[in-house]
Each structure stands twice: as structure tokens, then as C-alpha cells.
Amino acid sequence: MRLVFATKDLVVAGRSFEGFPLLIGADGWPVEPAQSFLWHTLIESGEALSPLTWEAYGRRLFDYFAFLEANDLAWNEESQADGLSVLSRYRDWSSSELELDPSTLNKRLSLVVRFYQWAKQRDLIAVLPFGERRVRTTPHAGFLSHVARPNTESKKPSVMVRERRRLTKFLTKDQAKICLAMDTDPSHRILLHLMVRTGLRSCEARTFPQKYVFNPRLKKGLRPGQMISVALDPSDMYLKYSRPRTIDVPWSLMEDMWSYSLHVREVRKAAGNERATALVLTKQGRQYSKDSIVDVMKAYERKCGFYVRAHMLRHTYGTYTLRALRKSRDFQGEPLLYVRDRMGHSDVQTTMVYLHLINQLEAQSVLAHEDEIDMMFLTGTTPSA
């Protein structure tokens, strides 16, 4: 069994479905009904249009069916009890043998649960391989919390695992300074700066287009040290939810990206065999992939001596930007909404997690150079060593 992704030659009704996940069995034919479920969920229902979402769904479903194949199990095998179903065995194997994080495992399980619900609706199976349990939901604190019904109950598939509440991780100020000053691969450096100084997601940073970069010294109306507004368009790069937004790029970072585009990028582009539009390229002249970003962060971790991941850089931006703006006497506007818009959050509730992190910072007197690094998020001026 293999997972492959369609080329541009997969055309249906005049539309190309390049990147669509294909689960291919040993006989060379699509694995059914898994393939039909993917087509229904991703295409017919219009649930997800992003190739990155296609890939994620494909990998999750492939992981389950590959487990079934390796253990000579049938996806529609009936069992006497929920705890002995093939889905339960997959859950236990993923948790014990693979030691998957509960949130990661639940993402895989939730898609497989939906697959079985879809199959039952089409009379492909008579009984679901899982039961349901009632759980009490806690309403979110927010603008409408006063009208939320307390002690509301909902149903949840019993196969799901209990998740631990995960702390939002970010870099301390000293750690951020070490990473920003690190002498490393030029492409790695630009990627890190884009995430920690503008709040881009890793998938957004690696697809950030070269055409957005310019020499700020030749742009009228700009002065050294200021923030430069850059409008992001989903037709140019990957943006979550495919919603355009504006980010503020520090002057010094725009200068660095301009210099990179003139020298390093040209050399790397010449080594490639494709017309790359992304700013940051690998040594082979290709756009960075999702897995290669993980390798970049691990490279930083080895050099810095502490844990570094892409999501931590984005959280670092959100935490310190919000804190700096709340302390600023010159900023006009609502800091929380500013950070929400720059980070592309769909709901201000997501942004509010940084308020909690700021409270943690206020209680930690060990974080030195506060004014120094706060200025980095307000004006884009990199603090001196």
C-alpha cells in the first residue's frame, strides 16, 4: 500500500487536482472506500481547498489503513465490544508503540471516526466500531460568556483519548536574542526571522513570495527603523483560511531579505530546475517543504542548546508584541486586535492566550533586557549584543 499525491495530470471536469492524496493498494488500484471518502470530504463537500489540508487528511487516513494492512485486519470487521474493535486496536498501538501525543492521535482518530460515520450513512457497515460518551463542556470566557449555558453536555466518540492541557511554549527573551544572532545558513536565518519578527506560520514563511521584497532605502516615504506594511494575498502564497491579511515587517528584516534575494537566492535558484516563486530556497534551489522546516528548527536546537520549534517562534512574536504594545504610550489602537489581525487568527479568543503568557512574564524578574527586546517588536531594530 502506498500514499502518492496526484500530479497536474489528474483532471476532472476541466479542473486539475494536483496534490490530491491517492491511497494505492498492492494491486495498483485505489483503496476503497477510503479513496471515495477522501474525494467526498475534500472535493464534493468543498470542506478543504488547501493542498496542505489534502496532504494532512491523506496521511492520517493512510496511517490507519496501513496499520490494518500490516496486521491483516479488515476495516469493516465487526467486534463484540467497542474496546476490541479494529479502531480501538489502532488507538492503543498508536498510543503505546508510537507514543503519539494525545492531540496528534486525536486528530488522526477524528478523521477515521468521520470515515466510519460516512460509511454507515451509505450502508457500507451496519455498526460503528466505537461508542459514545457524554462529556460536560465548559463555555469559553469572552464577550458572550454571560449568555452561555453552564454545564452543557455533548457526545464524544469513546475511542478518543484524553488530552492533557498543553502549555503554550515560547522563547524567553535571552533565547530569542541567541537565535536571532546565530550565525547559520542564510535561508534558515530568514525563515526564523520571518516567524519570530512578523508572526508568520511556518507554512506561510516558507511560501512567502520573493516579489514582496524590495530595497526599503529606495522606497519613498520610508525611513530606517520603521515597520513596513506588507499585504499578503492567498494567490501569492499559502495563507491559513485563504484570507488576505497585512503584516508589519521590520525595516532591518526587509533589508536583509532584499540582500538575500540579490545574492544567496540567485545562486540557489540557478542550482534548481524549477521556477521558484518563494523567497527562501534550499541549497538545491527548491522551496522548503513542511518536513524541511522541522529539520531547520532542529538545526537551531542543536546549535543553541535549547528546545526550538516553529510554533514557538510565532508564540514568541504574539507574546512580546502584545506586551510591548500594551506598555507603549505612543501606540494608538487596541493591542489585542492588532496582534489578532497580524497573526491571522480567526477569533480574538485565540489571541487572548497571550494575555495569560504576559502575566507569566510579569512574574518572572529573571528576564532581563526587557526594553531592548520590546523595541525589536515595535520598531524592528535588532538589539545589540
Question: Quick one: cell of 264?
Answer: 544567496
Same domain, 290 and 177: yes
In a domain, 90, yes or no: yes
In a domain, 70, yes or no: yes
Phi, psi of 361 (to 5 degrees): -65, -40
Same domain, 186 and 77: no
> Are 149 and 136 a contacting pair, CB within 8 Å?
no
Q: Which pLDDT score is estimated for 288?
A: 94
Same domain, 209 and 101: no
Same domain, 28 and 107: yes
Domain that holds residue 244: 173-379
Same domain, 185 and 250: yes
Report the candidate in 381, 374, 318, 316 with the shortest Cα–Cα distance to residue 345. 318
> Are 319 and 173 a contacting pair, CB within 8 Å?
no
In a domain, 134, yes or no: no
* Chain segment 8-42, per-residue pLDDT in tens: 899 988 888 999 999 999 999 999 999 999 999 99
Phi, psi of 102 (to 5 degrees): -55, -40
Same domain, 90 and 188: no
In a domain, 258, yes or no: yes
In a domain, 150, yes or no: no
In a domain, 161, yes or no: no
Same domain, 177 and 103: no
Residue 220's CATH number: 1.10.443.10
> Are 324 and 377 a contacting pair, CB within 8 Å?
yes
Same domain, 43 and 104: yes
Same domain, 178 and 96: no
- The four Cα atoms 15, 234, 193, 247 give a dihedral, to 10 degrees, of 180
Same domain, 252 and 333: yes
Residue carrying the nine cell digits 490494518: 68
* Chain segment 169-184, per-residue pLDDT in tens: 899 888 999 999 999 9
Same domain, 191 and 78: no
Count of structural domains within the chain: 2
In a domain, 36, yes or no: yes
Least confident of 73-82, 142-151, 178-187, 252-261: 142-151
- Distance CA(312)–CA(366), nearest Å, equals 20
In a domain, 159, yes or no: no
* Chain segment 214-270, per-residue pLDDT in tens: 999 999 889 998 999 999 999 999 998 889 999 999 999 999 999 999 999 999 999
Same domain, 195 and 309: yes
At residue 149, does pLDDT exceed 60?
no
Give this prediction's pTM: 0.70
